[in-house]
Structure 1
Amino acid sequence: MAHTFEELLAKQRAADEAHTRVLELRDAYGPPTQEGGWNEPQRETYETAWRAWRDLDRDLGQTVTEYAKAERTTRAEVEAELRRTLPDPEVQWHRREG
């Protein structure tokens, strides 16, 4: 199946939003190993958010690989172009927190 760069951007945005949600939850809940730890609703919420991010990221990776192959380029080049367009949420989060 042929993919467009716009499709890749949409998938990257969705994965980034899910990643940001995981970062927000981790920040709000604190480390799971802290005294008292997370309660069950927190654990379930975090695990659900983490699974959503993982699944979206896996789907993105497969799509990037297919796109790179169709465009006769490398996956790394496609990923770099995506990151030039959309900044990495982990980097943005650390800048915000710093």
Structure 2
Amino acid sequence: MADIEIPDDLIELERSAWTAIQNGTLTVETAQKVQERITEVAAEAGQSRTAVEMQLKQLVRHSQPEGEVA
């Protein structure tokens, strides 16, 4: 997987959406905002939307908490 620079605003959008998913409160509007921003970042980076989304989800959903060793 290519190392794509994910902007902070997209990381925050995904964190917000992930929290909403876990709480059962995700709205269509929130999901749409994330998808639209993923599409923008993919176009800017010259990468596929899927590659950006995969890297973003890996970063937000599967990263180790700060200070924790894998």
TM-score when scaled to structure 1?
Answer: 0.52
Following superposition, the deviation at residue 84 of structure 1 comes to 1.6
Please state whether the residue corresponding to 2:61 is helix, strand or coil: coil
Question: Which residue identity is paired with 2:58?
Answer: R
CA distance in 2, matches of 1:20, 1:55: 16
> Match for residue 15 of structure 2?
13
Please state whether the residue corresponding to 1:73 is helix, strand or coil: coil
CA distance in 1, matches of 2:61, 2:54: 10
CA distance in 2, matches of 1:6, 1:66: 14
Following superposition, the deviation at residue 6 of structure 1 comes to 1.1
- Where is the helix percentage greater, Structure 1 or Structure 2? 1
Question: Which residue identity is paired with 2:38?
Answer: V
Aligned pair count? 57
- Percentage of matched positions with identical amino acids: 19
CA distance in 2, matches of 1:87, 1:10: 12
Gaps of 5+ in 1: 23-48, 89-98
Following superposition, the deviation at residue 10 of structure 1 comes to 0.3
Gaps of 5+ in 2: 1-5, 63-70
Question: Which residue identity is paired with 2:11?
Answer: L
Higher relative contact order (CA 8 A, sep 6+): 1
Following superposition, the deviation at residue 55 of structure 1 comes to 1.4
Please list every run of at least 4 consecutive aligned residues from structure 1 whose deviation after the TM superposition is greater than 6 angstroms: none
The CA RMSD measured in Å over matched residues stands at 1.6
TM-score when scaled to structure 2?
Answer: 0.71
> Match for residue 34 of structure 1?
none
Question: Which residue identity is paired with 2:17?
Answer: A
